[in-house]
Amino acid sequence: MEHVVIIGNGISGVTAARHIRKLSDKQITIVSAETDYFFSRTALMYVYMGHMKFEHTQPYEPYFWKKNRINLKKGYVKHIHSDDHQIEFSSGEMMQYDKLIIATGSKPNKFGWPGQDAKGVMGMYHKQDLEQLEQYAPDNNTCKRAVIVGGGLIGIELAEMLHSRQIPVTFLVREESFWNGVLPAQESAMINREITENHIDLRLGVNLKEIKTNSAGKVTSVIIAETGEEIACDVVGLTAGVSPNIEFVKSSAIETNRGVLVNRHLETNIPDVYAIGDCAEQHEAIGQRRPIEAVWYTGRMMGETVAQTICDNRTPYKPGPWFNSAKFIDIEYQTYGWVWAQPKDHEERFYWEHSSGKKCIHISFDKKTREFIGINTFGIRMRHEFFNKVLLEKQTVDKVMAHLADANFDPEFYQLHEREIVSKFNREQSTNIQLKKKSWKRIFSRN
């Protein structure tokens, strides 16, 4: 019986295993050094915040794996012997495979800061990070202050976690405004306000120079590079992005760059070896997507896709229109299509913000064709199915605005804002048309 070995028990690897089981009777083994069972990584923050216990983050009961004949092996893979179709564990044990799926996810970035491996310094990605956080920041008596380095989605989650236990937080962000490499200026400014309104000490435009420690190797403070200021702290969260977790792959014949290089079918350069999820890197980016996408949704889709190929239905990875979602403390965020931090030359933008300063939408569309390109929505839930259809069918922004109420997914009795949004859009478009007409008249009068 063909043996499929999957290294990594995150959303990508587990989705692949589940779909291979649905499609076949192949022998399946999932290998992981992190935990015994698959858990929802995005739910880790809620364990620390007291909303759930760790076992609640496990979508499947322990009996699920045996019932579905999915073998679980706890161990750390040291090397892949692709010529022999074997993986080698750190213990020296070997395991034979017929097909191998690398789904090892990401690891937090470190940039060689002095003290970056000290006690009390951690990321917020693995279960072990949660355990360290409980050890070094169980309360505000043990942890008088935490410093977070890096202003991405994980960074703001960690800030919210610590804030929930009344632990003072200083947030070091190298950009001049939060996440402004991804968010347009208006949305970035909104999140700056949300962070500071929650009494988090947000420091923009600064970098970490070093982490100071005591004689026991425990963090005591950080130094800011630009000013030399020293901030006393008991915990440092390193959340300056993530990188593919593939160190053990680099000593093999499998081709790598930043991630494990794959084609559109998620195949590596070695027969019978595949890579999916955060650790996979497309040889050529798909459309305007990045070659590496460390996103839960895309990991799941890759798992479903590779299962088809392994079960003799060779299937290309087609992720469809881009979408993502997150939460910035109390403000929910969704994005569909493309709303770049800076508009492209062919784009026109429409922006609406609620008077509360905690809700907005930002729409991008083509100046000439009026094709809808994308939307950011903050504080208003929208239906994925609606915008997926709009983007696939290349509908116009005018059609989207005419049916915007159909897209709303807020719970019953929430205040609706579509009438106000559409009214502002129509006023702006009417004004733009009048300005264009005046411009044309001036041109013709000169001629």
Q: What is the pLDDT of residue 38?
A: 87
Count of CB atoms situated within 10 Å of the CB of 182: 17
Residue 286 neighbours by CB under 8 Å, 6+ apart:
264, 317, 318, 319
Q: 50: alpha, beta or left, given left = phi > 0 and alpha = psi -120 to 50? A: left
Kindly report, residue by residue over 295-305, the tens digit of the pLDDT.
999 999 999 99
Q: What is the pLDDT of residue 439?
A: 53
Give percent helix, percent strand, percent coil of the chain, each to the nearest 5: 30, 30, 40
Q: What is the pLDDT of residue 151?
A: 86
**Tokens at 434, concatenated:** 């009048």
Confidence class for position 413, pLDDT limits 50, 70, 90:
low
The answer to whether the CB of 218 falls within 8 A of the CB of 119 is yes
Kindly report, residue by residue over 322-367, the tens digit of the pLDDT.
999 999 999 999 999 999 999 999 999 999 999 999 999 999 999 9
Q: What is the pLDDT of residue 125?
A: 87
Kindly report, residue by residue over 267-296, the tens digit of the pLDDT.
999 999 999 999 999 999 999 999 999 999
> Which contiguous run of DSSP H or E holds residue 337?
strand 331-337
Q: Which residue has the higher pLDDT, 439 or 323?
A: 323
Kindly report, residue by residue over 138-164, the tens digit of the pLDDT.
999 999 999 999 988 999 999 999 999
Query: Is the confidence at residue 191, as pLDDT, over 80?
Result: yes
Q: At what angle do helices 296-310 and 11-23 cross, to 10 degrees?
A: 30
Query: Is the confidence at residue 65, as pLDDT, over 80?
Result: yes
- Specify the pairing of strand 280-282 against strand 260-262: parallel
Of 53, 97, 19, the residue nearest 304 (C-alpha): 19
Query: Is the confidence at residue 3, as pLDDT, over 70?
Result: yes
Query: Is the confidence at residue 35, as pLDDT, over 70?
Result: yes
Q: What is the pLDDT of residue 433?
A: 65
**Tokens at 223, concatenated:** 């130094």
Q: What is the pLDDT of residue 411?
A: 73
What's this model's pTM, rounded to 2 decimal places?
0.92
Q: 366: alpha, beta or left, given left = phi > 0 and alpha = psi -120 to 50? A: beta
Kindly report, residue by residue over 79-91, the tens digit of the pLDDT.
999 999 999 999 9
Count of CB atoms situated within 10 Å of the CB of 115: 19
Query: Is the confidence at residue 414, as pLDDT, over 80?
Result: no
**Tokens at 437, concatenated:** 């007409």
Q: What is the pLDDT of residue 442?
A: 55
Query: Is the confidence at residue 39, as pLDDT, over 90?
Result: no
The share of the chain scoring above pLDDT 70, in percent, equals 96
Q: What is the pLDDT of residue 435?
A: 59
DSSP secondary structure string for all residues of 166-213: T--EEEEESSSSTTTTTS-HHHHHHHHHHHHHTT-EEEES--EEEEEE
Average pLDDT value over all residues in the chain? 94
Mean pLDDT in residue range 306-332: 96
Kindly report, residue by residue over 199-250, the tens digit of the pLDDT.
999 999 999 999 999 999 999 999 999 999 999 999 999 999 899 999 999 9
Of 124, 128, 127, the residue nearest 109 (C-alpha): 124
Q: What is the pLDDT of residue 437?
A: 54
Q: 272: alpha, beta or left, given left = phi > 0 and alpha = psi -120 to 50? A: left
Of 447, 280, 242, 278, the residue nearest 269 (C-alpha): 280
